[in-house]
Amino acid sequence: MFRRLLPLAAAALAACGGGAITNDPQPPAPPGEKNLAPLATGARWSYRVTDPLLDAPFEKTVEVVGPQQVPGSTESAVLVVDTEPTQEERGWLVEKDGFVLRAREEDRKAGLLVRTTTWSPSAPKTLSASAPVGSVYEATVLEHEEHADGTFTEKNQTYRFTVIAKDVQVTVPAGTFTCLQVARVRLDKVGSDRTYWLAPNVGKVREEGERTEELVQYTPAP
């Protein structure tokens, strides 16, 4: 079910099997305002990643390649490539009514495809528009994960996003940003809680959870 969610986002996802809206929340910001996930072609982010399981931080880059047909589908989505020292993730994302949704992900190591993941309906990744403090979004999706050896697994995942605070000042290597603070909980998986700080027209500047990510540099689309 959806509680205190952006109405348009809830309506769009309810059409894919979601629930209903209660509490009559405020609508998302008008188009072009509070853009918390800019997915324009050529945008690029660099993050410093601190993982408690590793001895030293490392850097990852995220780059928007642009709209493409989703493999195995007739639909179009924005391809975003996330590159780390030992792996690469290609994600096909859809921005709709205040949210970014994951349509497909491919994980590669040493250039080889090791895992493909799809969801039904598309899984929520993050907010792309501002919402009032206290807004809650919850959805259950079916994840289909296929491995390089041809085996696959399917499981239900339940996501809950809660807007914790707004106008939060966050300082990272890239500078100081005014952010919306959002908590994400996986109700089906213990230990997967995350907190995001999202800045208008920049996107994610900090993430805490299994590891910490801090924005080092953001290059807007040309």
* H/E stretch holding 49: strand 44-50
> pLDDT tens digits for 80-110?
999 999 999 999 999 987 899 999 999 999 9
Whether 131 shows a pLDDT value over 50: the answer reads yes
* Whole-angstrom Cα Rg for the chain: 17
Please report, in angstroms and rounded to a whole number, the separation of the first and last CA atoms in the chain.
39
Residue 171 β-bridge partners: 176
| pLDDT for residue 2 | 35
CA distance 128 to 145: 26
What is the rounded average pLDDT of the residues 165-171?
97
Are 201 and 129 within 8 A, CB to CB?
no
C-alpha neighbours within 13 Å on the C-beta side of residue 23: 15
Helices (H) and strands (E) in the chain, counts: 1, 12
- Strand 112-127 with 44-50, pairing: unpaired
Would you give the DSSP letter of residue 25?
P
- Residue 79's Cβ-count burial label (10 Å; 0-12, 13-18, 19+) is buried
> pLDDT tens digits for 201-220?
999 999 999 999 999 999 99
Whether the bond between 121 and the residue before it is cis, its omega within 30 degrees of 0, is: yes
CA distance 217 to 222: 15
Tell me the backbone φ, ψ of residue 12, rounded to 5 degrees.
Answer: -65, -45
Residue 185 β-bridge partners: 160
CA distance 61 to 158: 28
Residue-range domain boundaries for the chain: 7-158
| pLDDT for residue 89 | 98
Token pair of 189, please? 């998986």
Would you give the DSSP letter of residue 1?
-
> pLDDT tens digits for 1-51?
333 444 333 333 333 333 222 233 344 444 445 699 999 999 999 999 999
CA distance 208 to 65: 26
